[in-house]
């Protein structure tokens, strides 16, 4: 029997009113149970919301620089525990240890940055149209925030949401993915250790359909920030009511490789974007758009590199590709291979579930794909790449924009005009020139367009915008009633 972990409500670790639990397992060794977690029900969520609501006045009235000091202490503890946390990320989520260290480093960087935002939190001053009148804006916290995070970056993404929400003065009800609750719990423990007041951060575990929806529908929760499935995002918009909502809902990212590209550099980028994190990134590149002149050469280069990738437990430093998160994800990748074959795509390598313990899937490459194929349109979230050839730059832009998503994008080219035209014309929240479709650095905005989200941005100063609201202030020192617009001569 594995260890039983509790909810964290109002500064105490408590059991769920449901008395039900669920396991967290190691995707590389599915028989290894890492622990059992509480299935929070509506009563638990109500208790968490009440605690957050009661803590809000005191927390929001604390000067933002002092809130930032708590995040600075959290950053230091994250540094001290980086290797321990990184190993846990690999064990619970599956990504290779080098990537797991990057996951934790993102949380450290975010804590550092958001601690500094406590001394900025900038507003605007602007002249009034009337005499003896002063105008400015300030930023105010929103209230109780519901944060719902995915499993693929189990330390980093919670940090992206929790740290800016806290420095802005909000209180929180936090529900992590049921696939990686232990990573999330360790982050909560760090914030408890650095002296976060009780009730400011509340941690509930359970299913999205029950625990998550109880958070989304709760009338006293003023804001929701969600990263995950597009269909769930749509349901949030239908069910949340009048709340401030931030959604990040995935991608179907493309890399353009022109005939003047550095092919060795492009090859490194495709391998990293397509098969890093086993393709389980919202920024993963699952579409490679290659100029017809170099298609055959690049295919050979790509196949050669793919066949050298080593599958295995992410704790082994020689492993290149870890497991998928669970059996459902493994079956989804297998299903899309069948779909691709039925659609007429040519399978060059991979496409199978290997005979090894764990939720592994072979790095897979299709070629001769058309833009209307499902494997070229739908988010697979596995190590499956579709390669398409184009005649020229304009066609490449049309192809990369042919999907409903618009998160990350990339072009490899030596042509400065094509590089700048890509910046203008690619429909994506992020565009890289001569690099892979990775995410954003923590001090820059992260998010997408079209079906990728609803326009909010995480990271950098835009995270402050997401987790606060603008208040406009007027100071009239004229000593008389002035009517804007009406009293203008």
Catalytic residues: 248, 282
Query: Is residue 145 a contact partner of residue 472, using CB atoms and an 8 Å limit?
Result: no
DSSP-derived 3-state class of residue 16: coil
Residues contacting residue 22 through CB under 8 Å, at least 6 positions apart: 36, 37, 39, 178, 205, 206
| 464 membership: H or E segment, kind and range | helix 460-466
Give the separation between CA 406 and CA 385, rounded to whole angstroms.
Answer: 17
End-to-end CA distance of the chain: 80
Residues contacting residue 76 through CB under 8 Å, at least 6 positions apart: none
Residues contacting residue 342 through CB under 8 Å, at least 6 positions apart: none
Q: Which residues pair with 459 in a beta bridge?
A: none
Residue 470: CB atoms within 10 Å: 11
Query: Is residue 454 a contact partner of residue 434, using CB atoms and an 8 Å limit?
Result: no
**Rounded alpha-carbon distances, angstroms, from residue 380 to 207, 287, 342:** 22, 11, 16
Which pair of tokens denotes residue 369? 């794909």
Query: Is residue 301 a contact partner of residue 263, using CB atoms and an 8 Å limit?
Result: yes
Burial status of residue 429 (CB atoms within 10 A of its CB: 0-12, 13-18, 19 or more): buried
Query: Is residue 411 a contact partner of residue 422, using CB atoms and an 8 Å limit?
Result: yes
Query: Is residue 253 a contact partner of residue 386, using CB atoms and an 8 Å limit?
Result: no
DSSP-derived 3-state class of residue 121: coil
Which pair of tokens denotes residue 30? 């599915």
Residue keyed to tokens 């005649």: 391
Query: Is residue 131 a contact partner of residue 476, using CB atoms and an 8 Å limit?
Result: no
Which pair of tokens denotes residue 139? 């930023």
Query: Is residue 356 a contact partner of residue 321, using CB atoms and an 8 Å limit?
Result: no
DSSP letter for each residue of 294-343? THHHHHHHHHHHHTTPPBS-TTSTT-SB---SSHHHHHHHHHHHHHHHHH
Give the separation between CA 342 and CA 97, rounded to whole angstroms.
Answer: 36
Give the separation between CA 57 and CA 46, rounded to whole angstroms.
Answer: 18
């Amino acid at each position: 029997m594995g260890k039983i972990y509790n909810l964290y409500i109002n500064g105490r670790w408590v059991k769920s009113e449901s008395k039900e639990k669920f396991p967290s397992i190691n995707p590389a060794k599915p028989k290894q149970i890492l622990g059992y977690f509480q299935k929070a029900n509506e009563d638990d969520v109500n208790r968490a919301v009440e605690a957050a609501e009661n803590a809000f006045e005191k927390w929001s009235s604390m000067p933002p620089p002092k809130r930032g000091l708590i995040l600075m202490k959290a950053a230091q503890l994250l540094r001290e525990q980086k290797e321990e946390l990184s190993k846990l990320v690999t064990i619970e989520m599956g990504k290779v240890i080098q990537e797991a260290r990057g996951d934790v480093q993102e949380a450290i960087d975010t804590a550092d940055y958001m601690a500094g935002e406590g001394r900025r939190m900038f507003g605007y001053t602007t002249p009034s149209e009337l005499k003896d009148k002063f105008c400015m804006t300030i930023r105010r916290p929103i209230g109780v925030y519901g944060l719902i995070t995915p499993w693929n970056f189990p330390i980093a993404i919670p940090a992206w949401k929790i740290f800016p929400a806290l420095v802005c003065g909000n209180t929180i009800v936090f529900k992590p993915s049921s696939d990686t609750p232990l990573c999330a719990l360790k982050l909560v423990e760090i914030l408890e250790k650095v002296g976060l007041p009780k009730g400011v951060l509340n941690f509930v575990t359970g299913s999205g359909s029950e625990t998550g929806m109880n958070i989304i529908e709760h009338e006293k929760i003023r804001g929701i920030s969600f990263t995950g499935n597009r269909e769930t995002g749509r349901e949030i918009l239908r069910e949340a009511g009048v709340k401030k909502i931030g959604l990040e809902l995935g991608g179907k990212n493309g890399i353009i490789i022109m005939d003047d590209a550095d092919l060795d550099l492009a090859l490194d980028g495709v391998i990293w974007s397509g098969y890093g994190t086993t393709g389980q990134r919202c920024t993963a590149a699952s579409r490679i758009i290659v100029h017809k002149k170099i298609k055959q050469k690049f295919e050979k280069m790509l196949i050669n590199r793919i066949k050298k990738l080593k599958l295995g437990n992410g704790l082994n430093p020689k492993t290149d590709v870890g497991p998928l998160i669970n059996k459902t994800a493994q079956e989804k990748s297998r299903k899309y291979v069948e779909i691709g074959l039925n659609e007429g795509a040519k399978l060059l390598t991979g496409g199978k579930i290997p005979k090894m313990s764990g939720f592994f899937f072979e790095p897979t490459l299709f070629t001769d794909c058309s833009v209307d194929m499902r494997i070229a349109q739908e988010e697979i979230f596995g190590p499956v790449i579709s390669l398409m050839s184009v005649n020229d730059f304009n066609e490449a832009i049309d192809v990369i924009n042919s999907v409903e998503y618009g998160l990350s994008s990339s072009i490899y080219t030596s042509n400065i005009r094509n590089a700048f035209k890509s910046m203008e014309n690619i429909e994506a929240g992020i565009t890289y020139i001569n690099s892979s479709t990775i995410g954003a650095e923590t001090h820059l905005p992260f998010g997408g367009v079209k079906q990728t989200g609803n326009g909010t941005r995480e990271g950098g100063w835009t995270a402050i915008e997401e987790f606060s609201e603008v208040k406009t202030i007027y100071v009239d020192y004229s000593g008389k009633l002035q009517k804007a617009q009406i009293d203008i001569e």
